[in-house]
Amino acid sequence: MYVCILNDKFELPLSRKELAELSGMSPETVMRILKKFNEEGFIQMNGKSLLIKDMLRLKHVSETG
Q: Is the pLDDT of residue 54 over 70?
A: yes
Nearest to 30 by CA among 42, 15, 43: 15
Q: What percent of the chain has pLDDT over 90?
A: 51
Q: Is the pLDDT of residue 12 over 50?
A: yes
Alpha carbon distance 27, 63 (integer Å)? 22
CATH, range 9-64: 1.10.10.10
Q: Is the pLDDT of residue 5 over 80?
A: no
User: How do the residues of the chain divide into helix, strand and coil, expressed in percent and rounded to 5?
Assistant: 50, 15, 35
Domain range list for the chain: 9-64
Q: Is the pLDDT of residue 32 over 90?
A: yes
